[in-house]
Amino acid sequence: MDAESTIRKNGGDNQYILVATNPTDSDSFLVQEALHRKGVRADLIHFTDFPSRSTASLHLDSHAGEDRWSLTGQRDLSRPPLPSAIWWRRPESPVIPSDVHPEDKKFVLQETVKFLRGLWHGLPTETVYVNSPTHAIEADRKPYQLQTARQVGFTIPPTLFSNDPAEIRAAVRKWGGRAIYKSFGSVNNFWWDPDKQKILALFTTIVEEDSLADNDTLSLTPGIYQPLLSKAFELRVTVFGSTAFGIKILSQEQKQSQTDWRNGQRTLQYEPFEVSPDLRQLCVKMLRRLGLLMGCFDFVVTPQGDVVFLEINESGQFLWVEGVSGVPLLDAFSDFLIRPRAGFRWKASPEPLRIQHVQAAASEKMAQAAEVHLFPEPLIHIDAASPSMTVPPHE
């Protein structure tokens, strides 16, 4: 199919969806297979292949109607046409060939990244992004998240963003001598301990006034500090358009997950949770304010029943929720990608498409992709004598 074909309109048999991803993301392969089962063409684009294994071009003419995109495709293979929708699903940075001279490598990476951003962030206006990479970058800023959550009507915890030891100590003292520390990111929060032969992970951590690190350490890395909240349970709400799915996370039933539920996620109990109209409306309102079409919200529910906003992850993992709770997220999300819009309301079918229906086919395609595509840099660098591993946290 010609790479310079015109934009396909949303809906109907002409839907064509691209997924900007990487070959380690299993959710991409599951969703691709689900879309195929529904009669919709969907292709995965791996930015790691560019520039050594794929090419792309953009020609801007004097008149917008004559602009031409030639999107990233494997060399010697047909290129994808312009998509009606693109799921911006955690694309990784390009992998520059190892034989490029060290003095040239930074320049090649710089030019490649800037080109890809210009190409993919600026597709024709008819293309629907889930989510817009520009808005996603903005929404990932934690202070902006909390400010926006407060503006739309959520309850937020008092929060200090700081590397000032005096401010940090004063805040912890104000909050009763105990607080929590959280990092700004989640990608580089894992280390391989060669002595213990195990992965060390940085989760949300309780800090106390008399056991805070020394001033030099506190000032070295900015952190997020909040009061230690009492919890009845935690809540994950996943929103596609205007449809919300909730699960109750029973984090207080085991010790290791009481401060950060991810620390015990494999042994926790999860239950479907009916999202109230008021909570759904606040989530949708926040998505609109952030310029997003989907997002994963995390809340604490206190023993008094108060719902406290923690964060939103615009590209968070969500298909795992179906596996632990039965909530039909794969069927709903694939329907949403076919017609992505802010007002999307999912209509459940008597027999929704489940992960187990596509798991085998998706796993086979993922294995095949491992032989064809370049992989991103691993999250954890370990010695050659140690087993290879990466950590896919539920975010």
Please tell me whether residues 3 and 110 are part of one structural domain.
Answer: yes
The answer to whether residues 10 and 66 belong to one domain is yes
Position 390 scores a pLDDT of 40
Tell me whether residue 338 is in a domain.
no
| 320 inside domain | no
Task: Give the per-residue pLDDT at 191.
Answer: 62
On the question of pLDDT at 6 being above 50, the answer is: no
Residue 15: what pLDDT? 86
SS3 170: helix
137 has a pLDDT exceeding 80: yes
Distance CA 280, CA 286 (A): 10
Task: Kindly tell me the burial class for residue 37, based on how many C-beta atoms sit within 10 Å of its own C-beta (0-12, 13-18, 19 or more).
Answer: middle
| Assigned token pair, 32 | 């691709």
Q: What mean pLDDT value characterizes the chain?
A: 87
pLDDT at 387: 40
| Residues 116-128 pLDDT 10s | 888 888 788 889 9
pLDDT confidence band for 98 (50 / 70 / 90): confident
Q: Specify whether 296 is located in the same domain as 381.
A: no
Closest CA to 298 of 264, 262, 335: 262
Q: With bands split at pLDDT 50, 70 and 90, how would you rate the model's confidence at 53?
A: confident
**123 and 183, same domain (yes or no):** no
CA distance 99 to 114: 21
What is the percent of the chain with per-residue pLDDT over 70, rounded to a whole number? 86
**41 and 62 co-located in one domain:** yes
Q: CA 24 to CA 384: how far, in whole Å? A: 20
* Residue 335 belongs to a domain: no
Residue that the structure tokens 């032989």 belong to: 371
Query: Is 140 contained in some domain?
Result: no
Contacts of residue 137, defined as CB under 8 A and 6 or more positions apart, other chains included, come to none
pLDDT recorded at residue 54: 86
- As a whole number, mean pLDDT of residues 264-274 equals 93
Question: Are 41 and 16 within 8 A, CB to CB?
Answer: yes
Asked if residue 6 belongs to a domain, the reply is: yes
**How many domains does the structure of the chain reveal?**
3
CATH code of the domain in which 207 resides:
3.30.1490
Same domain for 57 and 29: yes
pLDDT (0 to 100) of residue 333: 98
Report which of 82, 86, 30, 24 is spatially closest to residue 353, judged by C-alpha positions.
30
Residues 214 and 281 in one domain: no
Assess whether 79 and 4 both reside in one domain: yes
Domain termination site, one of 174, 193, 227: 227
- What does the pLDDT look like over 286-299, one tens digit per residue? 999 999 999 999 99
Pair (22, 121) in one structural domain: yes
Token pair of 389 as six digits:
């591993």
Identify the three-state secondary structure at position 15.
coil
Instruction: Answer yes or no: is 321 within a domain.
Output: no
Q: Do residue 214 and residue 189 come from a single domain?
A: yes
Alpha-carbon span 139 to 374, nearest angstrom: 29
Q: Where are the alpha helices (DSSP H) in 125-206?
A: 133-139, 142-152, 165-174
Same domain, yes or no, for 33 and 125? yes
Pick the last residue of a domain from 293, 314, 335. Answer: 314
Reported as a single tens digit per residue, the pLDDT across 8-22 is 333 445 689 999 998
Task: For residue 250, give both structure tokens.
Answer: 């029973």
Question: What's residue 148's pLDDT?
Answer: 98
Residue 343 lies in a domain: no
Residue 211 resides in a domain: yes
Does residue 301 sit in helix, strand or coil? strand
Do 202 and 255 lie in one domain? The reply is: no
* Last residue of one domain, picked from the residues 209, 227, 245: 227
Region 105-126 average pLDDT: 88
For β-strands 41-46 and 16-21, DSSP reports them as parallel
- Per residue in 184-226, pLDDT (tens digit) is 876 666 666 677 776 667 788 999 999 899 999 999 999 999 9
Q: Residue 210 is part of which domain span?
A: 158-227
Residue 370 reports pLDDT greater than 50: yes
CB neighbourhood size of 103 (10 A): 7
- What CATH number should be reported for the domain holding residue 246? 3.30.470.20
Segment of 153-162, 195-204, 205-214, 308-317 carrying the highest mean pLDDT: 153-162
